[in-house]
Amino acid sequence: VQLQASGGGLVQTGGSLRLSCKASGSIFSINGMGWYRQAPGKQRELVATITSGGSTNYADSVKGRFTISRDNADDTVYLRMISLKPEDTAGYYCNAQIRQTIISATREYWGQGTLVTVSS
């Protein structure tokens, strides 16, 4: 199983980006999916999560600016980011809880990260 993230880049303050992360490989089902970020010198932190049923959860710092969504048919999770601030600058990592077969346990997988840089 692989998670391939894309969509990062350099934007000015107030700009927007949409991140995508597609899961591929031997997949029976995907439970929760999410986005985390890690700024230089800081610990990785939760940005947003979404359940298979569509329930969402956001970090207080991004509420009202970021929107997480998923396409279950395509095993893809998205993060729409608007009104970006310099403090949003970080590597963004996608995460998914995946079962590879009907009898296997759910395991956590991480994408390789995509860099978001917001200039002031």
Spatial distance between the Cα atoms of 58 and 54, rounded to a whole number of angstroms: 13
The predicted pLDDT at position 27 comes to: 97
SS3 88: helix
Q: pLDDT tens for residues 43-102?
A: 999 999 999 999 999 999 999 999 999 999 999 999 999 999 999 999 999 999 999 999
The predicted pLDDT at position 102 comes to: 94
Spatial distance between the Cα atoms of 106 and 113, rounded to a whole number of angstroms: 21
Give the CA distances from residue 55 to residues 43, 49, 87, in Å, rounded to whole numbers and listed in that order: 25, 8, 26
One-letter amino acid at 74 equals D
User: Which two three-digit tokens encode residue 65?
Assistant: 């600016």
Spatial distance between the Cα atoms of 29 and 103, rounded to a whole number of angstroms: 11
Q: pLDDT tens for residues 22-38?
A: 999 999 999 999 999 99
Q: pLDDT tens for residues 102-120?
A: 999 999 999 999 999 999 9
The predicted pLDDT at position 106 comes to: 96
Pairing of strands 90-99, 29-38: antiparallel
